[in-house]
Chain A
Amino acid sequence: MFQILKSIAKAESEAKKIVEKARAQAEEMLLKSKEQSEKVYEETYWRTISEGKERFKEEERRTLEAANLDAQNILRKAEEQLKEIQAKAKQNLPEAVEQALRESLQ
């Protein structure tokens, strides 16, 4: 009987140690997580900010690219307009000279 009680007491003592060890491990984990939380906060904050800024830059780059394309279109249309102007100017030059002469001597 004594042996039985001794065995049970030994088992309970070991069980207690197991639980206490686990509790200590759990406490350490929680403590560690609390210690890490500031680092995690900083890292997440700056990573998110950095991603946001990257998005802004990307948006700016895309806008600039699109605006440059549109600007090129504007200039291309102006080039076409120039050709029309040159053709009209060449075609209407004699009449313009004649009318201007007449107008200036009136």
Chain B
Amino acid sequence: MKSESAETDVQRIVDRILNDAQREATALVEQAQKSAETVLANESERARQKALNEIRSESETNDDRIRAIRETVFAEARRKANWMVLSEKELAVNRVLNEVKENLGSLTHSKKYIRTLEGLIVDGGVALGGGQLEVALNESDSRLSLDLGSIAEIVTEKAATGSEVRLSSEQVKTSGGAIIRKADDRILVDNTFEAILKRSEPRLILKIAKVLFG
């Protein structure tokens, strides 16, 4: 009986020794497991922070790049939109200019053309300061009966210089209007329709645009 009890006591001591060892072993492994996980977690976090820092510093460059992309798209759209609007306006203004040219051409067949032509010759003569003047016309206008005497009188009056106007034997290629030149030198005023339009085109374009588009 006593011997049985002693055996049980010994077994208890042995079990305790083994249990304690098992507990210590488990604790050691668990601690090592935790340490290993911590090492890996720390390393992972260190890598993440380093990468995030690099991304952060690249972020500003990226923002600039994105801003540039957006600006490029906007600028391109605005450029295209402006071009569309300006082209349409230019087309409309050119349409008016072409109509003006056509109307000037058909003006030569109207009754008031002779007065217009005389006015152009007077303007040219006055601009040249009067004196001995020659007028060159196109073939068809050369056959018109212009009152050159009256024209000379008006020029004389407006330029305050005695003036004479005669028709030049030279004929010019123009839809209408006249070239007025001093007989004694080579100064001339080109008042043909084409020249008038060319001279006044910049002014006309502004005027036309204002009337067309307000």
Q: Which residues of A contact B (CB under 8 A)?
A: 3-4, 7-8, 10-12, 14-16, 18-19, 21-23, 25-27, 29-30, 32-34, 36-38, 40-46, 48-49, 52-53, 56, 59-60, 63-64, 66-68, 70-72, 74-75, 77-79, 81-82, 85-86, 88-89, 92-93, 95-97, 99-101, 103-105
The reply to whether B211 and A33 contact each other, CB–CB distance below 8 Å, is: no
The stretch of B52-60, B126-134, B140-148, B164-172 in contact with A is: B52-60
Provide the main secondary structure of the chain A interface: helix
Contact of A88 with B212 at beta-carbon distance under 8 Å, contacts A8-B10, A74-B81 already known? yes
Q: Which 8 A-B pairs have the closest CB atoms?
A: A22-B25, A26-B32, A15-B21, A33-B36, A71-B77, A78-B81, A48-B51, A52-B55
The reply to whether B62 and A56 contact each other, CB–CB distance below 8 Å, is: yes
Contact for B36 among A30, A63, A82, A85, CB less than 8 A = A30
Contact of A8 with B32 at beta-carbon distance under 8 Å, contacts A45-B47, A52-B55, A104-B200 already known? no
Q: A7-B10, A26-B29, A78-B85 are in contact. List 17 more A-B contacts (CB 8 A).
A: A19-B21, A29-B32, A30-B35, A33-B37, A44-B47, A44-B48, A49-B55, A64-B73, A70-B77, A78-B80, A82-B88, A85-B89, A85-B92, A88-B212, A89-B89, A93-B96, A104-B196
Contact for B44 among A34, A40, A60, A86, CB less than 8 A = A40
The reply to whether B66 and A63 contact each other, CB–CB distance below 8 Å, is: yes
A85 to B28, CA, bound (A): 87
The reply to whether B22 and A104 contact each other, CB–CB distance below 8 Å, is: no
Contact for A105 among B22, B196, B203, CB less than 8 A = B196
Instruction: Flag whether B139 is at the interface (Cβ < 8 A).
Output: no
Q: Type the 1/0 row for B64-105, where 1 means its CB is closer than 8 Å to any CB of A.
A: 011001100110111011101100110010011101100110
Contact of A93 with B99 at beta-carbon distance under 8 Å, contacts A8-B14, A23-B28, A49-B55 already known? yes
A34 to B107, CA, bound (A): 101
Offer 6 A-B interface pairs, CB within 8 angstroms, sorted by A. A3-B10, A11-B13, A15-B17, A56-B59, A88-B213, A101-B104
CB distance from A12 to the nearest CB of B (A): 6
Q: Which residues of B contact A (CB under 8 A)?
A: 6, 10, 13-14, 17-18, 20-22, 24-26, 28-29, 31-33, 35-37, 39-40, 43-48, 50-52, 54-55, 58-59, 62, 65-66, 69-70, 73-74, 76-78, 80-82, 84-85, 88-89, 92, 95-97, 99-100, 103-104, 116, 119-120, 196-197, 200, 203-204, 207-208, 211-214
The reply to whether B100 and A88 contact each other, CB–CB distance below 8 Å, is: no
Residues of chain B within 8 A of A79, CB atoms compared: 84
The reply to whether B29 and A92 contact each other, CB–CB distance below 8 Å, is: no
The reply to whether B18 and A11 contact each other, CB–CB distance below 8 Å, is: yes
